[in-house]
Amino acid sequence: MKQGAQGSAGTGSAARDGDRAVAEARVPPQTRASGVARSPVETGSGVRGEHTHSEVPIPRPVVQRSSVRGQILDALRTALVAGELRPGEVYSAPALGERFGVSATPVREAMQQLALEGAVEVVPNRGFRVVERGARELAELAEVRALIEVPVVLRLARSVPVERWAELRPVAEATVRAASSGCPATYAEADRTFHRAVLLLSGNEQLVQISEDLHRRSQWPLVGASASRGRADLIADAAEHTALLDALIARDLDGVRRLVGGHFAGGA
């Protein structure tokens, strides 16, 4: 028994010596020139499950700031449509930030986005001036929108199943309720939602984005105007949505052509 144990121990020792020899043969000692970076295995920085001081921490996503900027952008767009931000007036980011209860940074970022959209322009060392728009620009926007949307709606009227049009009934009715509130900003949002829902049936996302941008610009107040259209105008515009949807469901192509053309002629 002792002899067997010794033999076994001797065999294990020989095996360990053999393993060490193989390891040394695989990784021979070498002289490293200066300036050559060490591998992650050698430094230990690439070893899984181990923490080293050389690891680069993963940055946390800036969710809160982005959310605040988005909320401020929505609030500024609403203020534009409601006429609270008057054309020709200059507004500073710190003053608006105090109004919204936030710092000037998200306000400035939101205003820069509005500048890209053409709603405001930068005034160095002062802030942002709301762009002054006249009736001619509004008419031009309506013309461009008609050139884009009218052919698309007429094509969809021939191809989209009646059931799909019926699904838009709640969206059209939402515009009627928004118009009844008399709030231009509330109606503007519902109006864009309806037009977007119709154009989404085309499956062309680029067309939807371009049309929505033109639609949003057409809702900005005109210079000298108090607060956009009145409640009666909003209700009349919303009624055209439901009438158009009725014509689409009935496959009344002549009615669709007349209603969609008149809708844009009114600058809706």
Question: What are 193-213's pLDDT values in tens digits?
Answer: 999 999 999 999 999 999 999
- The span from the CA of 192 to the CA of 212, in Å, is 7
Q: Which residue segments constitute the domains of the chain, with CATH numbers given?
A: 64-130 (1.10.10.10), 135-265 (1.20.120.530)
Report phi then psi at 103, rounded to 5.
-75, 170
Share of the chain above pLDDT 70, in %: 72
Q: One-letter amino acid identity for 206?
A: Q
pLDDT tens digits, 48-84: 444 444 444 444 433 345 589 999 999 999 999 988 9
Report pTM: 0.70
Structure tokens at 24: 């040394």
